[in-house]
Amino acid sequence: MSWISNKAIPVNERLIVALDVPNISSAKALVTKLGDSVVFYKIGLELFMSGNYFDLIDWLNEQHKRIFVDLKFFDVPATVGRAVKQLSDKQVDFVTVHGNNAIMKAAAEQKGSLKVLAVTVLTSLDRGDLDDLGFQCDVEQLVTSRAKRAIELGCDGVISSGLEASGLRDSLGQNFLVVSPGIRPVDNRPEDDQKRVVSVEQAFYNGADHIVVGRPIRDADDPLQAAMDIQQSIRNVFAS
């Protein structure tokens, strides 16, 4: 069964490019290179630690870009709630939390116009990693359990591999966001740290609303062409 998203999201905003680069100047250079081909950007821990993170948020807003703050808040619930409240004053679209029920609830209560996305299972983890962490259930059961609790607690959606997106739609329906990282338009390279990966098309047919793409664009010989090719793949899915 196909679970193609029926949400009113502009097709060119379904691609989120991860700015996984070492500094602000590199981030700005990549955004400038990609131009109008990309509207939505994710900024995470690497850029946060480089300094001037909020200057980059302001600059992206000046460029009329949408922003996904991926800091995976995990702390005392009251602290997470206050952090999300601080961020809600910025012009940011998405923020991630990665924690238990109390953490997710605190974030949802303070989100304002932000959309809070709960991390289910990182796409860098596989069955062996979950065994190491002491989880007895399989990956899909864990993803579904965490997603169900996140939605019930007021989160707007989840971060989930496209591999599990169809199971989430089967179990929980369409009334929440699924954002899928671990997208690989070509075969994984041996040094890749993503393990549970899918193609652009498979992610959307399985029910993702957005995909997050980093190195296949950043490390391409021609990043602009790579982004344009992915956008064309997305248009093809939603035209079918």
Measured CA to CA, the distance from residue 83 to residue 77 in angstroms comes to 10
Beta-carbon contacts of residue 67 (< 8 Å; ≥ 6 apart): 40, 41, 43, 57, 60, 61, 91, 92, 93, 94
For 186-234, how does the pLDDT look when each residue is reduced to its tens digit (9 = 90+)?
A: 544 444 445 457 899 999 999 999 999 999 999 999 999 999 999 999 9
Any catalytic annotation for residue 148?
no
Report pLDDT for 139: 63
Q: Could you give all domains of the chain from N- to C-terminal order, each with its CATH number?
A: 11-239 (3.20.20.70)
Residues lower than pLDDT 50 in the chain: 125, 127, 129-131, 133, 187-193, 195
pLDDT score recorded for residue 77: 96
Q: Say if pTM beats, i.e. exceeds, 0.85.
A: yes
Q: How far apart are CA 178 and CA 165, in angstroms?
A: 7
Query: pLDDT tens digit string along 65-80?
Result: 999 999 999 999 999 9
State the pLDDT at residue 198.
Answer: 87
Collapsing DSSP to helix, strand or coil, 206 comes out as coil
pLDDT at 133: 46
Choice among 33, 72, 90, 148 that is catalytic: 72
